[in-house]
Amino acid sequence: MPAAGTHVFKSVQFAHKSTTYDVVAYQKPSDSRLYVTVESSGKPVVFTYPDGYKASIEYSVDPLTAYEFKQAMGNSAVDELMATAQSDVTRMI
């Protein structure tokens, strides 16, 4: 899970290739941005790119952009980031 003190406000599980993943939306203390990450067994998912580079993924949106997205598009920016995170996992793993 994200670091202690963070406010987790949404979590969705999905399975891919016999592994269960959690897409987690949260807010860090003292930071107004909204974050989305993907974990498996409580640890961040790490992607290995073709060149050998390894990285975990974290998506974020500031509250004003999230509000404007909701007003313009009618759906949640955080939900869209969560869907993108899940899609990236199924595409890259």
Per cent of the chain over pLDDT 90 is 84
Query: Taking the model in full, what pTM does it have?
Result: 0.90
Average pLDDT, the chain: 94
Give me the residue spans of the domains in the chain.
7-92
C-alpha span between 4 and 1 (Å, rounded): 8
Residue-wise pLDDT tens digits, 11-50: 999 999 999 999 999 999 889 999 999 999 999 999 998 9
Check if the beta carbon of residue 9 is closer than 8 Å to that of residue 26: yes
